[in-house]
Each structure stands twice: as structure tokens, then as C-alpha cells.
Amino acid sequence: MSLPAWSHPVAAITDEERQSRLSRLRERMQAQGIAAILLGPTESLRYFTGLVWHLSERLLGALVTDDKLIYIVPGFERSRVETLPHLPGEIAVWEEEESPAALVSLLVGPSGKLALDEALPLAFYHAFTEQMGAARLIDGGPLIRVLRAIKSPAEIALIQYAMGITLNIHRKVRDTLAPGTAASDVVRFIDQQHRAAGADGGSTFCIVSFGEATALPHGADGEQILQVGDVILVDTGCRLDGYHSDLTRTYMLDEGNGEFERAWAVEREGQQVVFDAAKLRAPCESLDAAARNSFARHGLGPDYRLPGLPHRAGHGLGLEIHEAPYIVRGNKTPLAPGMCFSNEPMIVFPGTFGVRLEDHIYMAEDGPHWFTTPAENPCAV
């Protein structure tokens, strides 16, 4: 099936790139003596095959062997799968009274080891243990994560463009806010703007917080109305060919609140410290430590204590909004060219306000690069 018309100035991911991904996956499978890997209805299925499917109680996925790509499909869904974009491959169907795990076991053979997509629900894992025994099942997460964590130039270009869309919308939001504005109206406006820009399905998420609610990292329940002198936090993103944008800005409409402006400057300093620590081969945890050390110099923290930084300093981004590599204590993964991750060492002052500035970094052969230009002052985005 042909893909929908593509109207963006960056290219969508090609089947040639997906075939290259499969080749690298097979190399890793062969090196570890794994006969096959089962991709579930997850973002990894999209990454390797282009097929997009929703999770349900019925298993649909793709079995990758040394020389075959076999889609595992409920019988009544075959006609639908055939209409969707995906790499060419065989289709093996199972009917309602049959076990998809038994079908996969038959295709793998009597003794081969099967790696399972780490995002498969536990119920599917139990079905495979009954059919094949736990000893033949391997965690496929390490095989997949190491490939997905290193983004290609095409992936980086898609993320870059999606980030640009969202940053432009942040600027439009800033220009439309005034006391009396309802947060729900801002959420609707952002979704409309993402749709108008050609993002996949509008906003993927949107947090709009005013005043004390900005101290809650993921926002407050219920309606909020912007009051004079409120701190404003907007965190939102979209997808383009499946790849995410994710940007947060915190600001005030007017200057003159010295407490907020000082906190904003400390936050921006912490964000810059993380960027400066993002050296090739540096362990991911060193960036988180750099942020906490920066805040500690201003009397914040230490560790996860508040006022201070209550969560990790960043997360990887791609087909999932949170994926490897995580910028968190204990993650010794070295930074490598192609890695993409957020830089968002939020400062929380409980019951008062929070400041989160979130931009993303991609690692190149010459070190870190911003996807978007960080905010310049406490009244701008």
C-alpha cells in the first residue's frame, strides 16, 4: 500500500532504512545464538517493519529470523494488515480458538531460542513459557534498545523538524496568554496548532499549569485560570512520522518577580551545565550529577530533596517519548553519536512554583547539539 501524501520538508523513514535496521538486528541475533526475535504490537514493530498496530489481548507482531520476516496475525485481521504500510514479509495467521504462542513456537522450531520484545505484556510471556519453556526465552530488550538508541540522520531530521513545530507553537501561546485564560483553552489551542502544522494526530500530550500547580511536575487535575502574577508552565509535543517532539517552557508575562527570576536563572544554569557535561563517552549518570551539583551550589537539594530536582535530569526520545538513554543516577551507558535525550533538570519549590526548561540534545561526532535554542529570559520562550 502506498503511504499518505507527505508534505513536510524532511523525508519520512524509508523501507531501505528499515531493512538496514533488520540487518543489524540479525547480526546481533546471530552473535548471541538466537534463532528468532518476536516484535510485539509496539514501537519496535514500527521501527523495524513500518507496521503500526494497537495493543490488545490478541497477539499481533512480527517474527524475525535469520532469513525471514513473518507477521503473526489474527486471521480476521489479515485483510486489514495487508492494507497498512509495512515491509514485505510472510503472513502467518492464527484463528480465534488457536494459540499464537503455539504458532510462533512451531515457526521457531523445537530447540531454537526466542527473544521477546521487552514491551510485550506479561500475559503473552506466560503463554510462551507454557509452549516453549522459560529456558528458551530471552529478553529481547538489550538487542533492540542498543539499536534504537542510536538515531540515524533521517531520524534526527524528523525530530528536529517536529521540535521546530512545537517551539513555534510555544511562541504563539506566549503571545495569546492573558489573565483570565483557562488552561483547557490553551490545551485546545496547542492541539489545533499541532494539527494545522501537519503533526500526526495533533498534540501527543499537553500540560498547562499556572501558579502553585507549576510545582507539580506533571500538572494538576481540574481547570486552572491564569491570574495576575502567576508563573506559567507549558509542556507539550507532537509526532512526525512517529517521532516525538517534547518541549517545556516556564515564564511569567511580566518582569519584576525577583524570586522567580532568580530561580529561573538557576534552572537555566543547570540546563546549560547538563549540556556542557554531555561529552562523547561520558556516562549518562554524570549529566544528572552535574545538574544536582549545580543546584547544590545554590542551596537546593541535595539528591532528590526539595526544594530541588525531584526526578532524573532527562530521558531519551524517538518513537517513544521516554526511551533509552535515561539521564539518571546509576546509568553508566556512555554517550555516543546518534543518541538523543531531553535536558530538563526541573527545580520544585513545594507549594510555591516550579521551573522546568526542557530542550533536547543530540550527540554528533563533534559532541552535543541542541535541537532547539533554549529560552533566553524569564519572560520569553
Residue 54 placed within a domain:
yes
Residues 123 and 201 in one domain: no
Residue 10 placed within a domain:
no
The residue among 132, 148, 164 that closes a domain is 148
Residues 228 and 348 in one domain: yes
Instruction: Check residue 5 and give its pLDDT.
Output: 79
Residues 108 and 165 in one domain: no
Q: What does the block give as the cell for 233?
A: 508552565
Contact between 258 and 238 under an 8 Å Cβ cutoff? The reply is: no
Residue 112 has pLDDT above 90, yes or no: yes
Residues 290 and 143 in one domain: no
Residue 381 placed within a domain:
no
> What are the backbone dihedrals phi and psi of residue 16, each rounded to the nearest 5 degrees, phi first?
-60, -40
Q: Which domain holds residue 19?
A: 15-148
Residues 6+ apart with CB under 8 A from 261: 255, 378
Residue 323 placed within a domain:
yes
CATH number at residue 53: 3.40.350.10
User: In sequence order, which ranges of the chain are alpha helices (DSSP H)?
Assistant: 15-31, 43-49, 78-83, 100-108, 122-132, 141-148, 153-176, 183-196, 258-277, 284-296
Residues 181 and 249 in one domain: yes
Residue 243 placed within a domain:
yes
Q: How many domains, the chain?
A: 2
Residue 56 has pLDDT above 80, yes or no: yes
CATH number at residue 280: 3.90.230.10
pTM for this structure?
0.97
Residues 169 and 141 in one domain: no
Mean pLDDT of 131-153: 97
Residues 136 and 219 in one domain: no
Q: What share of the chain is helix, strand, coil (3-state, %, to 5)?
A: 35, 20, 40
Q: Which of 266, 338, 257 is nearest to 299 (CA)?
A: 266
Residues 270 and 168 in one domain: yes
Per-residue model confidence as pLDDT tens digits over 88-104 = 999 999 999 999 999 99
Instruction: Check residue 2 and give its pLDDT.
Output: 47
Per-residue model confidence as pLDDT tens digits over 225-263 = 999 999 999 999 999 999 999 999 999 999 999 999 999
